[in-house]
Structure 1
Amino acid sequence: MPAPIVVREYARLTTAPLARNTLDEAHISASAFDWLCELAGRFRSNGASLLQVDGRRWLKLDHYVGVLETPCGQVIEILPKHCEEQDCVPAARALLQRMIAAALELPTRNAEQASLALYDAPLAEWVMQQFLLALDHLLKRGLRFDYQRVEEEQRFLRGQLDVVRQMRQPPGRAHLLHLRHDIYTPDRAENRLLKAALDVVCKHTQDSGNWRLAHELAGLLHSLPASRDIAQDFRAWQNNRLLAHYQPLRPWCELILYRHMPLAVAGGYRGISLLFPMSTLFERYAEQRLRAALPAGARLDRQVTSQYLCTHAGSNFFQLRPDLLLQQGSQRWVLDAKWKLLDASRRSSNYELSQSDFYQLYAYGQKYLQGSGHMALLYPAWGRFNAAKPIAPFQFDARLTLHVLPLALDDPQAGLAVLAQLMQAGAGQTAAAPAAAMC
């Protein structure tokens, strides 16, 4: 089996010989190249861009991160590009794991966070490890059983006799009784999905610890039937208090069984392939950090849809959907999260900000803030853009201000600094700052 390839966003893959693989360039086999081209075509047909073909021997990845496994066995791990150092694989992998946990709204535990730093493995193995640990914890608490009605023929009486069917019994089968009775069984939708996900892990894990734990747990679930309809079983998954201890398992099952946010590889071949749009991950990560820092009485809404850009013939046109809307009392703030590395020293190139993003925020400000207030664009903090190297606020006019703020990726309290700055500006208490740039 080929050695796993580790690259990051926007890396280039080639069939040409390279002196060595780096995070930005790597060599892949011709069969993996052809499969990725085919996969990119399926993504384009669904309106997404996975990669760009650069000549006949080069591919350039897009903004998706995660892990891909080709039919020839080549594993390609794609990490976030959040710094320029070439030796940042452990930090990038840990960041991606935190963002996935935030995006799936997974519960965090101190013990698990400690183990993250020690478990230096590709993303797919980490996903499988988290599922196995959660499943092991659930089995120690016990599976949830339920009563199921069974209708069968037996030679002895058990439960309730079906009198109508028994009266229609032909003479040659009069010795058999039509019965109805209930059995107490673990055969329910939630358990069938756990069994299905565990079967996938047993088949694909390459880590010795994961393999051992997976097969131990498989022995405990061997009597469960396989899921006959995964989509239907997910719809039947119950969320009542009797199944509260099942809730941490559902996100992992959705990841492994290709039923959640990651873009699964379509078609006949299904390896462990999980792809996440990095912009969505950062948006959910920013939301989690801000929500954790909300003061009393404040409210944070995601993807609000109450305003439109204009009306035409009595109908609303072009819905406006900011990433986040923060409210406290009568005050409002509009926030958008963008996954892009800004350079606070490059004022001549507009700090690499996008003009279309400013147009978008201006429209949000007019409709959601009635043209008066404060908004923010959140970008990841890194060496060239952080709290020590800020960008001054931008004034659309005397009443509407846009702040471009860094969000620390390794600080659990990062949302607190962002909220403090916005609320201070909204209250008119902003400290003296450099002259604002006029848009």
Structure 2
Amino acid sequence: MTWAVTSAGESIELVEHAPALSVALSDAVGRALAAGDVVDAVPDPYASGRWSLRAGSKVGAVTVTVPGGNMPLTLRITPKVSVARLFFLLGYSLAPKSGWRDGEVEVTEHRDLLPALAHAVERQVDRALRQGLLQGYRATEESALVVRGRIREAEQIRRRFGAMLPLEVAYDEFTTDIAENRILRTAVDRLLRLPGVPGDVRRRLLHQRARLADVTPVVRGQRLPAWQPTRLNARYHRALHLARVVLDGSSAEHAPGGLRIDGFLFDMNKLFEDFVTVALRESFRGTGHTARTQDPHHLDVAAEILMKPDFVLYGSDDAPCAVVDAKYKAEKQGGFPDADLYQMLAYCTALGLREGHLVYAKGNATHAAHQVRHAGIVIHQHALDLDQEPAGLLADIDSVAQRLADTPRV
């Protein structure tokens, strides 16, 4: 894929995994980027006042604000895959039975990730709220002058020392201020604070926030309230999944010297891993196999060296029968990284498998298989072309799954 960078005023654009670029930055902003885990940032050894920036697997947009400085610096990182394909990977990972159907999330008009995501969230929130805000029961504890629900006797004694009023009561309140609405309100608020949201999308987000005006947003730093998918909240499911993506990816960090880094970053490593493991799990649904992700095992007999393969397949006897690790990374000049082979060899040895499988986002290398000397273990390296149509991509996943099903044990 070709790469380009433009610097217009206080805006810089990068492409994930593109070569490093030299950009004129103040030392304060350069150090903030280096410390913020946004991009790889080091001083340019060949030019004073310039920093070498290289984007990794994180895509999105962040703003760096310097106290007393000029306009904030906005840094945008574009994914290599198209936004439409990225949303297919995301949608399938969240809801494999349906994914994003044509017309369900219109993102083709947006080239950048954040505008597309803001548009998608607003559309899904609008669909969720068309029938009105969902209501439910919320457990409430408070001090009151009248009895409502039940009296919390232990709290009454501890806090009131025998006084009759006020009463410490607990009751279930039927309200719109429930977990589902609070998550949507918080995601809308977060998007409205992020740089790069188009004006028309921002206006529609303001309308959605007005519809959720009586709902309490989650304060930054607090844990999001838990919700369970049910028939009653089915119309909220897509909006809630996307809202969680926004809340997991957006952040505001304060760096040394009062610098502020605020924005949204999406980790393509995690997205690719989630897609591969979910798609493989779906391929084995109904076959009698059990699939587990990030399943903990130990490499050594003393159980001191923990390892967590991305995907382990178990047979009907609950014994491991295949292992997979997903690797979204740039391959080396000569092919796939050797370190991945050593890691997979350790997995196969500990799990007692004759074959292991590494799945990459496709670059220049094709499928490869390596037989390890003196071990009798074969390590397969598969490559998925993320630019192809979803049907072809899922067919490739099914081909990998067929190889897993044929994996022999030691």
Query: What TM-score results when the alignment is normalised by the length of structure 1?
Result: 0.69
- CA spacing shift, 1:310–1:412, aligned 2, 3 Å: closer
Whichever residue aligns with residue 354 of structure 2, its letter is: G
1:99 and 1:76 map into 2 onto residues whose CA distance is 24
Corresponding residue number in structure 2 for 1:126: 116
- CA spacing shift, 1:288–1:317, aligned 2, 3 Å: same
> Is 1:248 equivalent to 2:228 in the alignment?
no
1:338 and 1:219 map into 2 onto residues whose CA distance is 42
> Is 1:319 equivalent to 2:306 in the alignment?
yes
> Is 1:298 equivalent to 2:302 in the alignment?
no
1:322 and 1:181 map into 2 onto residues whose CA distance is 45
2:178 to 166, 183, 188: 188
1:425 and 1:238 map into 2 onto residues whose CA distance is 36
Cα distance, 1:140 vs structure 2:
1.2
Corresponding residue number in structure 2 for 1:375: 356
1:363 to 342, 346, 354: 346
Cα distance, 1:159 vs structure 2:
8.0
User: In 1, are the aligned partners of 2:88 and 2:100 still within 8 Å (CA)?
Assistant: no
Whichever residue aligns with residue 412 of structure 1, its letter is: L
SS of residue in 2 equivalent to 1:110: coil
Corresponding residue number in structure 1 for 2:207: 216
Corresponding residue number in structure 2 for 1:84: none
1:418 and 1:180 map into 2 onto residues whose CA distance is 54
Whichever residue aligns with residue 41 of structure 1, its letter is: A
CA RMSD of aligned residues (A): 4.0
- CA spacing shift, 1:396–1:378, aligned 2, 3 Å: farther
Corresponding residue number in structure 2 for 1:436: none
> Is 1:34 equivalent to 2:24 in the alignment?
no
Corresponding residue number in structure 1 for 2:13: 5
Query: What TM-score results when the alignment is normalised by the length of structure 2?
Result: 0.73
> Is 1:339 equivalent to 2:318 in the alignment?
no
Cα distance, 1:250 vs structure 2:
3.1
Corresponding residue number in structure 1 for 2:365: 385
Cα distance, 1:317 vs structure 2:
1.7
- CA spacing shift, 1:373–1:217, aligned 2, 3 Å: same
- CA spacing shift, 1:78–1:9, aligned 2, 3 Å: farther
- CA spacing shift, 1:284–1:225, aligned 2, 3 Å: closer
Whichever residue aligns with residue 31 of structure 2, its letter is: C
Greater mean deviation of Cα atoms: 293-302 or 94-103: 94-103
Corresponding residue number in structure 1 for 2:74: 75
Whichever residue aligns with residue 64 of structure 1, its letter is: S
Cα distance, 1:240 vs structure 2:
5.1
- The within-5 A match list for 1:117-156 is 118-146=108-136
1:217 and 1:119 map into 2 onto residues whose CA distance is 21
Cα distance, 1:201 vs structure 2:
2.8
SS of residue in 2 equivalent to 1:416: helix
1:317 and 1:360 map into 2 onto residues whose CA distance is 17
Greater mean deviation of Cα atoms: 144-153 or 120-129: 144-153
- 1:356-377 CA-to-partner distances (Å, cap 9, x unmatched) read 32222222111102xx521112
Whichever residue aligns with residue 51 of structure 1, its letter is: D
SS of residue in 2 equivalent to 1:310: coil
Whichever residue aligns with residue 326 of structure 2, its letter is: A
Corresponding residue number in structure 1 for 2:5: none
1:109 to 75, 100, 121: 100
2:171 and 2:407 map into 1 onto residues whose CA distance is 68
- CA spacing shift, 1:291–1:184, aligned 2, 3 Å: closer
User: In 2, are the aligned partners of 1:396 and 1:402 still within 8 Å (CA)?
Assistant: no
- CA spacing shift, 1:216–1:52, aligned 2, 3 Å: closer
- The within-5 A match list for 1:399-418 is 399-409=376-386, 410=388, 411-418=393-400
User: In 1, are the aligned partners of 2:329 and 2:361 still within 8 Å (CA)?
Assistant: yes
- CA spacing shift, 1:297–1:76, aligned 2, 3 Å: same
- CA spacing shift, 1:169–1:304, aligned 2, 3 Å: closer
SS of residue in 1 equivalent to 2:106: helix
Cα distance, 1:146 vs structure 2:
3.8
Structure 1 unaligned blocks of 5 or more? 17-29, 44-48, 82-90, 171-178, 428-439
Whose Rg is larger?
A: 1
- The within-5 A match list for 1:154-165 is none
Whichever residue aligns with residue 359 of structure 2, its letter is: L
Cα distance, 1:139 vs structure 2:
0.6
Corresponding residue number in structure 2 for 1:59: 52
Higher RCO, 1 vs 2 (CA within 8 Å, ≥6 residues apart): 2
- The within-5 A match list for 1:164-313 is 184-204=174-194, 206-228=197-219, 231-232=222-223, 234-239=224-229, 241-257=231-247, 260=248, 262=249, 264-267=251-254, 269=260, 271-276=262-267, 278-294=268-284, 296-306=287-297, 308-311=298-301
User: In 1, are the aligned partners of 2:11 and 2:75 still within 8 Å (CA)?
Assistant: no
